[in-house]
Amino acid sequence: MSEWMRVCPLEEIPRLGSRVVQTGKGDIAVFRNGLDEVFALRDQCPHKGGPLSQGIVFDRKVTCPLHSLTVQLDSGEAVAPDEGCTQRYRARVDKGEVYLNIS
Amino acid sequence: MTTRKKTRLVVIGNGMAGMRTLEELLKLAPDMYDITVFGAEPHGNYNRILLSPVLAGEMTIKDIMLNDVDWYAQNGITLHLNKKVTQIDRVRRKVIAGDGTEADYDRLLLATGSNPFMLPVPGKDLPGVVSYRDIKDTDEMIEAASRYRHAVVIGGGLLGLEAANGLRLRGMDVTVVHLMPWLMERQLDRTAAGLLQQSLEAKGLKFLLEKQTAELIAGESGRVCAIKFKDGETLSADLVVMAVGIRPNTELAETASLYCNRGVVVNDTMQTYDPRIYAVGECVSHRGIAYGLVAPLFEQAKVCANHLAQLGISRYTGSVTSTKLKVTGIDLFSAGDFIGGEGTEEIVLSDPSGGVYKKLVVKDDKIVGGVLYGDTAEGSWYFQLLRDGQNIRELRGRLMSGQSHLGNSGHQGQNNAASMPDEMEVCGCNGVCKGTIVKAIKEKGLFTLEEVRKHTKASSSCGSCTGLVEQILASTIGGAYQPVDASRKPLCGCTDYTHEEIRKAIVERKLKSIPEAMGFFEWRNVNGCASCRPALNYYLLCAWPHDYQDDPQSRFINERAHANIQKDGSYSVIPRIYGGVTTPEQLKRIAEVAEKYAVPTVKLTGGQRIDLLGVKKEDLPKVWADLDMPSGFAYGKSIRTVKTCVGSEWCRFGVQDSTNLGIALEKALDRMWAPHKVKLAVSGCPRNCAEATIKDVGIVGVDSGWEIYVAGNGGIKAEVSLFLVKVKSAEEVMEYASAFIQLYREEARYLDRTVHWVQRVGMDYVKKRIVADAAGRKALHERLADALRDEKDPWQERVRGVEAQEFVPIRL
Ligand code: SRM
Ligand SMILES: Cc1cc2nc3c(=O)[nH]c(=O)nc-3n(C[C@H](O)[C@H](O)[C@H](O)COP(=O)(O)OP(=O)(O)OC[C@H]3O[C@@H](n4cnc5c(N)ncnc54)[C@H](O)[C@@H]3O)c2cc1C
Ligand code: SF4
Ligand code: FES
């Protein structure tokens, strides 16, 4: 069964930015891009575990703050030629509120 | 539903230039054209320059494919292999191949390359006589090597020597026959050619110079068996390779009555005299020049794609090329006018027994050409100086010893890639060995430094090994590698405009936000990328200090969080300690904070202050509140530290009060953002205990006043600063130093340290603006003071609650 949890109002995540959400499953980075789409990834870079939440967001991508690997927000995959993948979670916006599903 | 029919693009020639143009076009306008490609060869697009390593047995054909047949399918391109186009019907706008296949076009791209030139001597068509151009030739040579013994290569140029080397490695007895008195006369002078010949002889090659071929003689089987020279001598030959030059392949264009003159004539937008027909590559003549190397073709491809995509903003204005020979173990570089003559002078370093020869030809204080043999470490640097037309007057003393000899850290002092074994580490930051880089270049078909960085990570961090990586790239792909044109550097992949063009427009067009700037320059990606956003943010902030609304999301995390991120995701806190002078009260406070927040490490930094390492992000605002000290900006492209020594106040040698001048400078520059970090130091006497001569601005007290030095660097590549001026008073120091820094802020590219910027614009320019022009200096000084007048301390702001979200996680 899927469980959607309310996270926060959309405005509380900066556009082209993110927030860290602490859950029972560890830290999850919830991103908001330039089109107000939201995405959720485990807050760990596939390279050396850097906090992706602290990276620079553009398009549907985030660049890791530690060594600049770029990760695709909608799949968790590293952008080629880099390799690696981080866990992706479902996130959505409904009536201005952000919801996250980590089940 | 109506589907608009797409414009039809037909490409003739499935080689390097044509397909590179398509790759560039697909990046810009993936859906614009219905594309059809004709190729006379039965293969997908391959890396022709790597036929040499294939012949030498170092690689296979499979390794050198750039775009296999699948690539065409994936991009919806219709590919006709093994079909030679024999006619262009310009009236009906269609092309017709030898087998009758037709294709209609709206736009046509000619990329037919060139044909090897065959000496018109009797016997040139005999079996066993080959040219060296494509896979077929290479296969034939490999086959011959397995059955026959004697090979003769006619032509001692690049191609001939690579062929000879390959055949020798395959066990043949090889003689190179050359008409001229020395090898590679179009790239080398006599001395360098002599050294080259020696090394090739040591590899077992034989040479006959100043020999003219008269005839090729057939043996009993009908295959070539000997070569006869004008002087009557003969030599056995079971395989003859003709490598005497190439001719642009214009046959098809000429039958279609397109204007040709030693190449299909094109203008700066790569259009032929028929505006629907474009041409790129070796078949082209641009401003009277037909190129025979890959690098210019790539530049042409880029421009051509831009126009095919109807963006119409770029022009091809010609290329300066350089050459490398791809024979393993031989290190040779040549560019420009390497012979010299009237009005030129030469700088020469010759060490024949050490196998090293370097010659630079200089005219009017500019490098116009050069030859390097045995040590090509500086090749890319010289080439850059040549192409940028940089004045080298001040560099003269250092030119021969070179850039990479001194002060480079991180790769065991190595500066000669050719002599490094494969397993040796090149990039000390990412642990990448030479072998890994070579392998990636060959297998992935990499041509640029950027691509190597992306694929291997080598030189992508601190960059100190960039020179080595460039050398490896150059020796692996020959003249196909050309360092980027430093004088015209696009801001990033999102735009073709340069840093300078963008900075200028921001001021002149009064662009005051990132979206406005991106809109004005028609950025390719809506939100830009992690490279351009921080740069634009800085340029806007520098241009409009009071109007621009800083964009935290366009700042690297350190500047967004006002602390340095650590490898475990925690942060470090370095409060400002002006001039390195502290008090017991301050020290107690720092100690208490460290205890209260259980800070794991307290360290004295190399910048004369104290670092609290391992603070949780959530705790940052509380730590700042308790410290109650200004931010040290240790995380920013900003003013960092002003180091000082004890100076005349205490020191028995001190002649000037360096401590207080340092504090005054640090206060004046407090909260200043810059293209990169800015570090100063003030020493109270020439003993220079504050290490002022490796700082962006270094001040050294002397009895009669202060000496000001600029553009030093103590980091990745140590650079000693250059003398700017000597002044009498501390007030003058403040004015000169801040004027210099403001000029740097206004004119350098983002991520240039002062040294990089000054090396580009030259110290003469800096002196003209800062020393000679008193009014200009004052104005710069005032502009800096004005820019900083309402900058607030970022820590105290956040203590007040600004951007609180940044620091607070959400708990579920
Ligand atoms: C803390 C400190 C080392 C220490 O424990 O002493 C330090 C730490 C770092 N240095 Fe440094 N540098 C420190 C003094 C220096 C010095 C010495 C100095 O300032 O006198 C140099 C050489 C002088 C110079 O810059 O010319 C120095 C040259 C570098 C460089 C190379 C810069 C260059 O242009 O070549 C980098 C890399 C970069 O900036 O790209 C770097 C980068 C870094 C970074 C920021 C790496 C990073 O991106 O995370 C380190 C951050 C650690 C942290 O979280 O605090 N650090 N770094 C020093 C802080 C001084 C301060 O009080 O602010
Ligand atoms: C062995 C070797 C080593 C080299 N080494 C280097 C080096 O180290 N560095 C460097 O910079 N350059 C090097 N070069 C040169 C480099 O390969 C060429 O400059 C480059 O390939 C030219 O690209 P192009 O697209 O213009 O021509 P090509 O790559 O030759 O492509 C032209 C293609 O068009 C096809 N074609 C011609 N006419 C027709 C027609 N009518 N219909 C259909 N198809 C047609 C040809 O068959 C060919 O496949 C080397 C070349 C060789 C042969
Ligand atoms: S502090 Fe400087 S030298 Fe030390 S590891 Fe970090 S970047 Fe390298
Ligand atoms: S940890 Fe993300 S790039 Fe290294």
Q: How far apart are CA B105 and CA B285, in angstroms?
A: 23
Give the position, in ligand 4's atom list, of the atom nearest the Cα of A45. Answer: 2
pLDDT of residue B486: 65
B394 min Cα distance to partner chain A (Å): 37
Which chain B residues are closer than 8 Å to A68 by Cβ? 460, 530
pLDDT exceeds 80 at position B725? yes
User: Do residues B694 and B747 both lie within one domain?
Assistant: yes
Q: How far apart are CA B70 and CA B77, in angstroms?
A: 10
Contact between chains at A59 and B533 (C-beta distance less than 8 A) = no
Q: Are A16 and A55 in contact (CB under 8 A)?
A: no
pLDDT of residue B17: 96
User: Do residues B739 and B663 both lie within one domain?
Assistant: yes
Where does ligand 2 bind, in terms of residues with CB under 6 Å? B 12-18, 38-41, 48-49, 51-52, 84-85, 111-113, 132-133, 159, 249, 252, 281-282, 292-295, 297, 326, 478-480
Q: pLDDT class for B384, splitting at 50, 70, 90? A: confident
Going by C-alpha positions, the residue among B621, B680, B319 that lies closest to residue B483 is: B319
pLDDT exceeds 60 at position A98? yes
Query: With pLDDT > 90 as the criterion, what percentage of chain A qualifies?
Result: 88
Summarize the confidence of residues B542-569 as an average pLDDT: 96
Q: Ligand 4: which of A45, A52, A63, A79 to mutate, most ligand atoms within 8 Å of CB?
A: A45
User: Do residues B17 and B87 both lie within one domain?
Assistant: yes
Give the position, in ligand 2's atom list, of the atom nearest the Cα of B83. Answer: 43
Chain B positions with Cβ closer than 8 Å to A: 444, 454-455, 460-461, 525-530, 533-534, 552-554, 556-558, 560-561, 565, 567, 569, 805, 809-812
User: Do residues B171 and B267 both lie within one domain?
Assistant: no
Q: Parallel, antiparallel, or unpaired: how do β-strands B224-229 and A97-101 relate?
A: unpaired
Structure tokens at A102: 């980590």
Q: What is the overall mean pLDDT for chain B?
A: 92
Is residue B334, in this structure, part of any structural domain at all? no
Q: Which of B487-491, B545-549, B554-558 has the lowest mean pLDDT?
A: B487-491
pLDDT exceeds 60 at position B20? yes
Please give the sequence-ordered ranges of beta strands (E in DSSP) within B337-427, or none if there are none.
345-351, 356-363, 366-373, 425-427
Distance B27 CA to ligand 1 centre (A): 38
Distance B795 CA to ligand 2 centre (A): 60
Q: Which of B21-35, B344-358, B661-675 has the lowest mean pLDDT?
A: B344-358
Q: What are phi and psi of B418, to 5 degrees?
A: -60, -35
Summarize the confidence of residues B645-654 as an average pLDDT: 95
B364 sits in the region (left: phi over 0; alpha: psi -120 to 50; else beta) called left
Give the position, in ligand 2's atom list, of the atom nearest the Cα of B13. Answer: 34
Instruction: Encode pLDDT of B753-802 as tens digits.
Output: 999 999 889 899 999 999 999 999 999 999 999 999 999 999 999 999 99
pLDDT of residue A2: 66
Distance B628 CA to ligand 1 centre (A): 24
Contact between chains at A34 and B557 (C-beta distance less than 8 A) = no
Around B681, how many Cα atoms within 13 Å sit in the side-chain half-sphere?
Answer: 24
Q: How far apart are CA A25 and CA A7, in angstroms?
A: 15
pTM over 0.95: no
Is residue B401, in this structure, part of any structural domain at all? no
Domain count, chain B: 5
Is residue B343, in this structure, part of any structural domain at all? no
pLDDT exceeds 90 at position B355? no
Instruction: Encode pLDDT of A1-38 as tens digits.
Output: 468 999 999 999 999 999 999 999 899 999 999 999 99
Q: Which of A83-97, B405-419, B650-664 has the lowest mean pLDDT?
A: B405-419
Q: What are phi and psi of B663, to 5 degrees?
A: -65, -45
Instruction: Encode pLDDT of B576-606 as tens digits.
Output: 999 999 999 999 999 999 999 999 999 999 9
User: Do residues B576 and B538 both lie within one domain?
Assistant: no
Q: How far apart are CA B602 and CA B595, in angstroms?
A: 10
Q: Which of B461, B530, B552 sits opposite A63 (nearest CB)?
A: B530
Q: Which of A8, A57, A65 sits opposite B553 (nearest CB)?
A: A57
pLDDT of residue B412: 64
User: Do residues B608 and B685 both lie within one domain?
Assistant: no
- Cβ neighbours, 10 Å, residue B502: 23
Is residue B364, in this structure, part of any structural domain at all? no
Q: Which of B314-318, B416-420, B650-654 has the lowest mean pLDDT?
A: B416-420
pLDDT of residue B128: 96
Instruction: Encode pLDDT of B728-767 as tens digits.
Output: 999 999 999 999 999 999 999 999 999 999 988 989 999 9
Q: Which of B461, B534, B553 sits opposite A16 (nearest CB)?
A: B553
Q: Mention the CATH class of domain A4-101.
A: mainly beta
User: Do residues B151 and B172 both lie within one domain?
Assistant: yes
- Cβ neighbours, 10 Å, residue B304: 31
Q: Which ligand is nearest to the CA of A49?
A: 4
**Which residue in chain B has the smallest CA separation from A53?**
B557
Q: Ligand 2: which of B48, B135, B161, B282 to mutate, most ligand atoms within 8 Å of CB?
A: B48
pLDDT exceeds 90 at position B257? yes
Which chain A residues are closer than 8 Å to B557 by Cβ? 54-56, 65
Q: Does residue B324 or residue B808 have the better pLDDT?
A: B808
Q: Whose CA is nearest to atom 13 of ligand 1?
A: B606
Q: pLDDT class for B406, splitting at 50, 70, 90? A: very low
User: Do residues B518 and B561 both lie within one domain?
Assistant: no
Contact between chains at A17 and B552 (C-beta distance less than 8 A) = yes
Q: Which ligand is nearest to the CA of B410?
A: 3
pLDDT of residue B642: 98
Q: pLDDT class for B375, splitting at 50, 70, 90? A: confident
CATH (domain of B615): 3.90.480.10
pLDDT exceeds 80 at position B640? yes
pLDDT of residue B414: 62
Q: Ligand 2: which of B65, B112, B114, B159 to mutate, most ligand atoms within 8 Å of CB?
A: B112
pLDDT of residue B2: 47
pLDDT of residue B405: 47
User: Do residues B45 and B86 both lie within one domain?
Assistant: yes
User: Do residues B662 and B756 both lie within one domain?
Assistant: yes
CA distances from B395 to B334, B401, B762 (A): 20, 10, 10
CATH (domain of B202): 3.50.50.60
pLDDT of residue B399: 82
Cα dihedral B337, B340, B342, B343, rounded to 10, equals 80
Q: How far apart are CA B617 and CA B101, in angstroms?
A: 67
Q: Are B359 and B371 in contact (CB under 8 A)?
A: yes
Q: Which of A21, A67, A82 sits opposite B809 (nearest CB)?
A: A21
**Which residue in chain A has the smallest CA separation from B804?**
A12
User: Do residues B615 and B706 both lie within one domain?
Assistant: no
Going by C-alpha positions, the residue among B413, B495, B425 that lies closest to residue B456 is: B425
Q: Does residue B667 or residue B455 have the better pLDDT?
A: B667
Q: What are phi and psi of B234, to 5 degrees?
A: -130, 165
The ipTM value here is 0.81
Q: pLDDT class for B252, splitting at 50, 70, 90? A: very high
Length of chain B: 812
Q: How far apart are CA B723 and CA B706, in angstroms?
A: 11
Length of chain A: 103
pLDDT exceeds 50 at position B113? yes
**Which residues form the domain of B543?**
499-555
Distance A44 CA to ligand 4 centre (A): 8
Is residue B432, in this structure, part of any structural domain at all? no
pLDDT exceeds 70 at position B133? yes
Which chain A residues are closer than 8 Å to B616 by Cβ? none
User: Do residues B527 and B613 both lie within one domain?
Assistant: no
pLDDT of residue B1: 44
Q: Does residue B35 or residue B411 have the better pLDDT?
A: B35
Is residue B450, in this structure, part of any structural domain at all? no
Q: Does residue B340 or residue B194 have the better pLDDT?
A: B194
